[in-house]
Structures are given as structure tokens and as C-alpha cells.
Amino acid sequence: MSIKPKKSLGQHFLTDSNIIRKIVDSVRCATDGNVVEIGPGTGAVTEPLLERFPSLEVIEIDERAVDFLQATYPKLKIHQQDVLKTSWQSLFQREGETERPISVVGNLPYYITSPILFSVIDERSLFTEAIFMMQKEVAERLTAKTRTKDYGILSVQTQIWSRPEYLFTVSRHVFNPKPNVESAVVRLTFDTPDPGVDPVFLKVLIRTAFNQRRKTLSNSIKSILLDTFPKESDPDGAKRTQFSLENGLHRRAEELEPSEFIDLAKAFLRETF
């Protein structure tokens, strides 16, 4: 099937059956499981997925691809919509059905990789795993370790809310058209314990800390320190200094493990309530 790839929709169709098989083999769900594919395009990954997971459902925005898929796979359940406007909860957890956790798969449209990741992470209780192809550079950030240049907001957030694994690298030569960058497949497994802390505050803390990643935390998160210990109640900054000492704020954001961000958020919240 040839539909003219649209750059604006991040369309790079996979042409290598070996890579396609590796992606499908990375899904660890039972054959009667709940598998959803994002961006099936012209069905390169959809066909082998459907063979293995007959109740596969897909989300695709491009009407031309939807028409083709409908004609080729009449039994395939297709949601023609923007994945970023999708409420996973309302689309896939149907009334009267027992909850069936979702394995989500996709050779993602790269222009919206991060928002897709965060939409899945935000509704993570619905998912067991996500197998996503993305730019290699983004995959390296998701799985980066502390004290590396790739370690940042994306790494900490992903590693708090899931267990990411870098599965394999994919050459740009197996796509039509070829993207400008190398790709990689990552699997996120949603089996990490709930950190037991307000996710909104945690997000603000991580973001603020990395916005000035070269500074020590006592400087980069000064605004949060001042909100927690306002000048009126701590005119000489003694409480702030004490808190900074106790929580190792002489370090920089890139030195903190994801679990240490959770501990820090909890320490702040203890002071507030």
C-alpha cells in the first residue's frame, strides 16, 4: 500500500521485517491481552501484532491510513483520533468490563514523543507496559544514569513512574522515508511502587532543579525553599540552612537518583503540613 508519507504527521513507515518482528516479540502480554497500537500507519507492525493479539485496537489520526486499514483488516478496531486528545480511561476501560491492563505499542510520531510518554505515565495504572520506538537520543535520555549529560527531567520522571529498558537501536535505513536520526526501541514496565508523594509537587521540584542544572540544589530550588520557609518566619535563613544541610542540597540535580527526588519532595511536604 502506498500513501504519500506526510512529514507533518511524523510518518516514517517501517520496511524491515526483522525489526518489525523484534518489536512484536518485545510485547510480553498474553495472546488474549489488551494491546493498543499508536500510529499504525499502513500496518507494518499492525499485521503481525494482529496475528498474535486478535483483540488489538489502534489509534490513528490520518484518514487515508484509517481507510486503508479498515479495508485490509475489517475486524480491526480502529479509533480515528489524535492520541494526545485520547483519554485512555474512557476509551479502553469499558463499563461492566473487568479492568484489563493495556500493553501499548508504537513506532511513535517523533514530533510528539514526550507528550505521548507523559500521557501514558499520567494514566499509568491502566498499563502494564509500553513498547515505543523513538529517536535514539530520547531513548538514551529516558534510560540515562545520574552524572551523565543525558540525565534530566525526562530520565527522572520516567524512572520514578516506570522501569525503562533500552531494547535495541534501529538504523535510519529501515524507514520510508528515512528520518534524519537513528531510532531505538524502549520498553517501560509499570511495576514500580507508588512513590506516595504528590505527583504535581514532585514534577515542579524536578523541573525547577533541572532548569539550572549547573547550580547546587540550594540555589536552583531557592524559590521552593523560600515558599517552604518564608522570610517572615525565617528572617536569618536558619531553617533553610538546616534543611539544606539535612537534605544534601549542596549537590546538583544531576547527582540525585530518582528515589532521592522522592525523598526530597517528602521532606519538603513534611515541612509544609
CB of residue 49 vs ligand SAM: minimum separation in angstroms? 10
With respect to ligand SAM, which residue has the nearer C-beta, 5 or 195? 5
The grid coordinates listed for 29 are 502480554
CB of 23 to ligand SAM, least distance (A): 8
> In the complex, what is the shortest distance from the CB of residue 90 to ligand SAM, in angstroms, rounded to a whole number?
16
Q: How far is the CB of 173 from ligand SAM (least distance, A)?
A: 14
> Helix 153-161 to helix 199-211 angle, to the nearest 10 degrees?
150
**Choice between 40 and 258, CB closer to ligand SAM:** 40
Residue 109 neighbours by CB under 8 Å, 6+ apart:
9, 10, 11, 39
- Please state at what angle helix 258-272 crosses helix 238-246, rounded to 10 degrees: 150
For ligand SAM, the closer of residues 119 and 219 by Cβ is: 119
Give the separation between CA 188 and CA 59, rounded to whole angstroms.
19
For ligand SAM, which residue has the nearest CB? 39
The whole-angstrom separation of Cα 83 and Cα 116 is 7
The strands making up 102-107's β-sheet, listed across from edge to edge, are 77-80, 57-60, 34-38, 102-107, 127-135, 183-189, 163-170
Give the nearest distance from C-beta 33 to ligand SAM in angstroms: 19
Report in angstroms how near the CB of residue 121 gets to ligand SAM at its nearest: 17
Q: Between 123 and 257, whose beta carbon lies closer to ligand SAM?
A: 123
**Minimum distance between the CB of residue 183 and ligand SAM, rounded to whole angstroms?**
9
Smallest gap from residue 101 Cβ to ligand SAM (A):
21
Nearer to ligand SAM, 6 or 231 (CB): 6
Residues 6+ positions from 211 with CB-CB distance below 8 Å: 220
**Cα distance between residue 144 and residue 123, in whole Å:** 23
- Where on the chain is the footprint of ligand SAM (CB under 6 A)? 9-14, 39-41, 44-45, 59-62, 65, 82-84, 107, 109, 112
DSSP letters for 179-196: PSS-EEEEEEE--SPP--
**Cβ(250)–Cβ(216) below 8 Å:** yes
Question: Taking a C-beta distance cutoff of 8 angstroms, is the pair 58, 47 a contact?
Answer: no
CB closer to ligand SAM, 11 vs 34: 11
Closer CB to ligand SAM, 41 or 258, in the complex? 41
CB nearer to ligand SAM: give 27 or 65: 65
CA distances (Å), origin 101, targets 33, 42, 80, 94, 117: 8, 26, 21, 12, 17
Q: What dihedral do alpha carbons 101, 106, 108, 112 form, nearest 10°? A: -10
